[in-house]
């Protein structure tokens, strides 16, 4: 098990063996889950007091050391949650600490601080939070988590949570909601560009935002339209972990096949109608969402070209993703050797781009809430069609 002895940096800032990382940060002994019984560690979350998980006496070789919860650790270790090198966890490298506004979701230590599981007041990151943390064992296995009974979404909606779900929903809810777009564009003329507007980014891996649908109100929701609420799916598919193995994070597809006959999640379809105007119902609902998202992006481009007269270019690899192309030559404008962020947003382009980004920021949108995703895309396409003089009926889309 050489993997367990790889070094990762813990919240304490020390580089120690991963086995110790587990013992020091898991807090499994305090877990209110059934899992607690299996744990032997005494150390509480974050105290980092046990440098190595070695037996009391030797001689021994690493291979002979019995590490409890072997499978959970190795599964987790291979997952994105443990990937200390990823942008999501290394973004603050070289700084003194992880900014409080970011720490809740980008470090187990920050998460515990935010929820008051480290003894500090809940609802705020007191910090300082060390750089280099990951989503460690003690993020989800923490007795205190049982006392977290609600979370507040970026929309302001307060949502009741139970058990470990509190963790997934805290971090995968995104950072902005339609209401932010509404406030930023209040009292502005719909098609008038304003230099005061910048792109509002919903953030990343926004699965919970999609899942909670119109009730969670993550999207820019048009007045007078109804939106599908939380996706209840079908019993027993009731929570994040009914589809995702919580350590590998992978979707356990075999379980899907008790109800779905398709060969992959992306191929699953229950809907009998086509939403994207193709009439093809032999493909997964994933295809309809993807096609409509593509159409929406095409329309955002057409609108910025033809209506605003200030073309935009989207670059998935660079924040803030939308850049200026004033001369319309198809290349991002450069200023001082740097790409120039788009600054001709109108309320209409901003709200439709926000919805596009929200839906596409969730690669599992089709399983998390296909209907809400389709509704946001449809309404945004209709919004731009109006400005572009396109006949919505002619597109053959369904909402
Ligand atoms: C509500 C939880 C939450 C908060 C708060 C949060 N993030 Fe994130 N962030 C995430 C999640 C979840 C991801 C993982 C997306 C992925 O890579 O799958 C992420 C990813 C990122 C990434 C990697 C993006 C990429 O392209 O891979 C960066 C950079 C980032 N966040 C910066 C920040 C900054 C800066 C802040 C504070 C100003 C912040 N985040 C606050 C949840 C959050
Ligand atoms: C993102 C949340 C999360 C993280 C991080 C996490 N776990 Fe878990 N773990 C869970 C959930 C949820 C369950 C319950 C699974 C079930 O009921 O099927 C669980 C179950 C377990 C179990 C019971 C047996 C099993 O595998 O189902 C053990 C042991 C365990 N975890 C240990 C760990 C250890 C050790 C770490 C760190 C290396 C860790 N977990 C990290 C969420 C997490
Ligand atoms: C403390 C914040 C936090 C918690 C709690 C959390 N996540 Fe994550 N999650 C993240 C971040 C950050 C990433 C991106 C990590 C990266 O890019 O390496 C991520 C990545 C993922 C991924 C993407 C995996 C991949 O291969 O890209 C899935 C799926 C996921 N989380 C599901 C869950 C589930 C289910 C839970 C609850 C059991 C959960 N997360 C709890 C922050 C969190
Ligand atoms: C009906 C099953 C189902 C449920 C319930 C579910 N997911 Fe997913 N999730 C999927 C599928 C399918 C994908 C896309 C396939 C993949 O990425 O593995 C996905 C993708 C993701 C991703 C992106 C992974 C990546 O590759 O970047 C994250 C993050 C995620 N889910 C988190 C969650 C969270 C958090 C919850 C609970 C709010 C949740 N999921 C509930 C099935 C589900
Ligand atoms: C207990 C039966 C059951 C299981 C297990 C199940 N599903 Fe479903 N699934 C359904 C039902 C019923 C619907 C239709 C729900 C609705 O539209 O309200 C559905 C809808 C869907 C949809 C949307 C299809 C569409 O056309 O809108 C996707 C995607 C999906 N499931 C993915 C999954 C994945 C991935 C898994 C496994 C991780 C899974 N399901 C497990 C019963 C199940």
Q: Has residue 58 got a pLDDT over 60?
A: yes
Q: Has residue 13 got a pLDDT over 70?
A: no
Pocket of ligand 2 contains residue 32 by CB under 6 Å: no
Q: Has residue 276 got a pLDDT over 70?
A: yes
pLDDT score, position 17: 38
Structural domain harbouring 273: 207-309+344-395
Pocket of ligand 2 contains residue 164 by CB under 6 Å: yes
Q: For strand 158-160 and strand 312-314, is the pairing parallel, antiparallel, or unpaired?
A: unpaired
What average pLDDT does the chain have?
87
Which residue out of 30, 79, 140 has the highest number of ligand 2 atoms within 8 Å of its CB and is therefore the one to mutate?
Answer: 140
∠ CA 39-125-129, rounded to 5°: 70
Task: Tell me which ligand sits closest to the C-alpha of residue 208.
Answer: 4
Tell me the per-residue pLDDT of 236-270, one tens digit each, with 9 for 90 and over: 898 999 999 999 999 999 999 999 999 999 999 99
> Which protein residues are within 6 Å of ligand 4, measured from CB?
168-169, 172, 205, 207-208, 211, 233, 237, 240, 242-244, 251, 265, 363-364, 367-368
Q: What are phi and psi of 323, to 5 degrees?
A: -125, 160
212 lies in the same domain as 232: yes
Q: Is residue 177 part of a domain?
A: no
Closest of 150, 78, 138, 76 to residue 108, by C-alpha: 138
374 lies in the same domain as 263: yes
62 lies in the same domain as 40: yes
Q: Has residue 7 got a pLDDT over 90?
A: no
Which residue out of 127, 133, 203 has the highest number of ligand 1 atoms within 8 Å of its CB and is therefore the one to mutate?
Answer: 203
The answer to which of 17-26, 48-57, 221-230 has the lowest mean pLDDT is 17-26
Two tokens, residue 216? 């969670």
∠ CA 16-85-253, rounded to 5°: 105
Q: Has residue 32 got a pLDDT over 50?
A: no
pLDDT score, position 238: 87
Q: What are phi and psi of 47, to 5 degrees?
A: -80, -15
Which atom belonging to ligand 1 lies closest to the Cα atom of 206? 12
131 lies in the same domain as 218: no
pLDDT score, position 66: 64
Tell me the per-residue pLDDT of 347-386, one tens digit each, with 9 for 90 and over: 999 999 999 999 999 999 999 999 999 999 999 999 999 9
Sign of the torsion angle spanned by Cα atoms 43, 45, 48, 51:
positive
Q: Is residue 335 part of a domain?
A: no
Domain-ending residue, one of 45, 66, 87: 66
Q: Is residue 381 part of a domain?
A: yes
Residue 377 to residue 320: CA distance in whole angstroms: 21
pLDDT score, position 23: 40
90 lies in the same domain as 20: no
Q: Has residue 79 got a pLDDT over 50?
A: yes
280 lies in the same domain as 356: yes
Tell me the per-residue pLDDT of 277-301, one tens digit each, with 9 for 90 and over: 999 999 999 999 999 999 999 999 9
Q: Has residue 24 got a pLDDT over 50?
A: no
Closest of 223, 210, 186 to residue 379, by C-alpha: 223
129 lies in the same domain as 270: no
pLDDT score, position 25: 42
109 lies in the same domain as 258: no
pLDDT score, position 11: 34
Q: Is residue 111 part of a domain?
A: yes
Residue 341 to residue 386: CA distance in whole angstroms: 26
How far does residue 353's CA lie from ligand 5's centre (Å)? 28
How far does residue 314's CA lie from ligand 5's centre (Å)? 32
CA nearest ligand 2 atom 37, residue: 137
Contact predicate 362/210, CB 8 Å: yes
141 lies in the same domain as 221: no
Q: Has residue 213 got a pLDDT over 90?
A: yes
Share of the chain above pLDDT 90, in %: 81
47 lies in the same domain as 92: no
Contact predicate 159/212, CB 8 Å: yes
Q: Is residue 314 part of a domain?
A: no
Contact predicate 388/241, CB 8 Å: no
How far does residue 72's CA lie from ligand 2's centre (Å)? 6
Q: Is residue 158 part of a domain?
A: no
The answer to which of 36-40, 152-156, 180-184, 341-345 has the lowest mean pLDDT is 36-40
The answer to which of 54-58, 117-121, 168-172, 302-306 has the lowest mean pLDDT is 54-58
Which residue out of 86, 151, 172, 207 has the highest number of ligand 4 atoms within 8 Å of its CB and is therefore the one to mutate?
Answer: 207
Q: Has residue 131 got a pLDDT over 70?
A: yes
Distance (Å) of CA 90 to CA 85, 107, 131, 132: 6, 10, 8, 6
Sequence-ordered list of residues with C-beta below 8 angstroms from that of 352, at least 6 positions apart, any chain: 220, 296, 299, 300, 303, 380, 381, 383, 384
Q: Has residue 38 got a pLDDT over 70?
A: no
Q: Is residue 192 part of a domain?
A: no
Q: Is residue 180 part of a domain?
A: no
pLDDT score, position 51: 36
Closest of 236, 273, 231 to residue 365, by C-alpha: 231
Question: How many structural domains does the chain have?
Answer: 3
239 lies in the same domain as 374: yes
């Amino acid at each position: 098990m050489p993997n367990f002895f790889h070094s990762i940096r813990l919240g304490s800032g020390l580089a120690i063996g991963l086995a110790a990382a587990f013992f020091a940060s898991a807090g499994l002994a305090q877990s209110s889950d059934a899992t607690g019984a299996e744990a032997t560690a005494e150390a509480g979350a974050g105290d980092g007091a046990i440098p190595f998980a070695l037996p009391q006496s030797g001689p021994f070789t690493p291979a002979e050391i019995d590490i409890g919860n072997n499978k959970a650790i190795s599964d987790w270790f291979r997952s994105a949650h443990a990937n200390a090198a990823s942008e999501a966890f290394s973004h603050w490298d070289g700084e003194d600490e992880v900014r409080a506004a970011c720490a809740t979701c980008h470090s187990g230590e920050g998460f515990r601080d935010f929820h008051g599981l480290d003894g500090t007041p809940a609802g705020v990151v007191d910090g300082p939070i060390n750089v280099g943390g990951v989503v460690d064992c003690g993020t989800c296995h923490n007795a205190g988590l049982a006392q977290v009974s609600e979370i507040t979404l970026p929309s302001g909606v307060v949502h009741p949570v139970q058990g470990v779900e509190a963790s997934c929903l805290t971090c995968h809810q995104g950072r902005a909601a339609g209401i932010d777009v509404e406030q930023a564009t209040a009292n502005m003329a719909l098609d008038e560009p304003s230099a005061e507007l910048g792109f509002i980014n919903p953030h990343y891996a926004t699965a919970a935002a999609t899942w909670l649908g119109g009730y969670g109100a993550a999207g820019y929701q048009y007045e007078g339209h109804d939106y599908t609420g939380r996706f209840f799916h079908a019993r027993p598919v009731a929570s994040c972990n009914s589809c995702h193995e919580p350590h590998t994070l992978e979707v356990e597809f075999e379980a899907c096949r008790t109800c779905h006959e398709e060969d992959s999640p992306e191929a699953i379809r229950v809907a009998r109608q086509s939403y994207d105007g193709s009439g093809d119902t032999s493909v997964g609902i994933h295809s309809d969402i993807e096609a409509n998202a593509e159409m929406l992006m095409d329309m955002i481009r057409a609108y910025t070209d033809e209506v605003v007269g200030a073309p935009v270019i989207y670059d998935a690899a660079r924040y803030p993703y939308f850049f200026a192309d004033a001369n319309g030559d198809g290349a991002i404008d450069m200023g001082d050797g740097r790409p120039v962020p788009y600054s001709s947003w109108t309320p209409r382009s901003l709200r439709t781009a926000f919805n596009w980004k929200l839906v596409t920021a969730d690669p599992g949108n089709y399983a998390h809430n296909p209907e809400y995703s389709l509704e946001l895309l449809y309404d945004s396409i209709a919004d731009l069609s109006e400005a572009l003089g396109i006949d919505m009926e002619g597109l053959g889309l369904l909402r």
